[in-house]
Structure 1
Amino acid sequence: METIILLVHVLVAVGVIALIMLQQGKGAETGASFGSGASQTVFGSQGSANFLSRTTAILATVFFVTSIGLAMMARQKADSVADAGLPSVQIEQIVPANDAPFSVDALESTTESDAPVLESQPVESSGSNNSESTK
C-alpha cells in the first residue's frame, strides 16, 4: 500500500510541476492585444487559464492528501519499531559525592587568576550635594 501511495505521490508531483510550467503569468495577457491571442483557442474562448488552474488545484489537493497518508504510515512504522522489544537506553546522571551546592568561597580558593584584585571601599553617602565632596 505504501508503494502505491508513494508512486501516486511522485506522479502527482511531476504533474503539478508540469502544469505550473504550462501556465502563463499575469503579464501574458498584454500580448493578446497585439494579435497573439488567437493561438490560445484550443481550450476555448477563455484560453487555458480555467482548465489548467482547476487541474492544478485538483492535483495539489491529491498531493497534500498523499503527503498526509505517507506521514501517517511513517508514524505507524516508527511506533512499531519503538515497540519491537528493543532494550531501552538508560541515561545515568552524575551526582557529586556531597549533595551540597558549590559555594563561591570554595570556587575562589581553588581558582588562581592573574587579574589584579580591587579592594572595595565603603561609599560615603551624605545628604549634601556630591559636587562638594569631589572638590
Structure 2
Amino acid sequence: MQTIIIVIHLMVVVALVGVVLLQRSEGGGLGIGGGSGFMTARGAANALTRTTAILAVAFFATSLTLSIIARYGEQPIDILDRVPAEDGVPADDGGAGILDELGGAPSPAEPPAETGQPTPSVPTGQ
C-alpha cells in the first residue's frame, strides 16, 4: 500500500514541477511564448492555475497519507525491548554486553597464513 502511494506521490511531484515551469512568468516563461497556439494567454493561465491547484491538493493528500502510514503502520522492534531484563536489572550472561548480543557471534580472528618465508626481525636498538 505504501509503495503505491509513494509512486503516485512521485508522479504528482514530477507533474507539479512541469506545470509550474510551464506557467508564464514576468520574463516570458518556459514553453509559453508568442500569441499563437490553440489557447490564448488567458485560457492557458487559467488552465495551468487550475492544474497547479489540483496537483498541489494531490501532493498534500499523498504527503499526509504517507505520514499517517509511517506513524501508525508497523514499527520496527525497539532495540531496548530486545534486552533481557529482570526487575530492571540486566541479566548477567558472563560479561557479554548489549553490543555483543546484537552483533551475533563474532568470528574468531584467523592467524596470518604461513607462507614459508622467515619473518623479518626488527632490531631493538641494543
The residue aligned with 1:69 is 65
Number of the residue aligned with 1:13: 13
Tell me the alpha carbon deviations over residues 26-75 of structure 1, each in whole angstroms, 9 at most, x when there is no partner.
Answer: 354xxxxxxx7422x42246241000110011001100000000001111
Q: RMSD over aligned Cα, in angstroms?
A: 3.3
CA drift at 1:85: 9.1
Q: What is the Cα deviation at residue 10 of structure 1?
A: 0.2
Larger Rg, first or second structure (1 or 2): 1
Relative contact order (C-alpha < 8 Å, sep 6+): which is higher? Answer: 1
Q: Deviation at 1:6?
A: 0.5
| Residues 50, 4 of structure 1: alpha-carbon distance in 2 compared, 3 angstrom cutoff | same
Larger proportion of helix: 1
Assess, with a 3 A threshold, how the Cα gap between structure 1 residues 57 and 69 changes in structure 2: closer, same or farther: same
Q: Give the direction of change, closer, same or farther, for the CA distance of 1:61–1:13 in structure 2 (3 Å limit).
A: same
Q: Give the letter aligned to residue 25 of structure 1.
A: S
Give the TM-score normalised by the residue count of structure 1: 0.50
The structure 1 segments of at least 4 consecutive aligned residues displaced by more than 3 Å after TM superposition are 82-85
Q: Percent identity?
A: 39
Contact 1:43/1:51, CA 8 A, preserved across alignment: no
Is 50-59 or 69-78 further displaced after alignment?
Answer: 69-78
User: 2:89 aligns to what?
Assistant: none
Structure 1 residue runs of 5 or longer lacking an equivalent are: 29-35, 91-135
List runs of 5+ in structure 2 lacking aligned partners: 86-126
Deviation by residue 1:62-95 (Cα, 9 ceiling, x = unmatched): 00000000001111236x335799247x9xxxxx
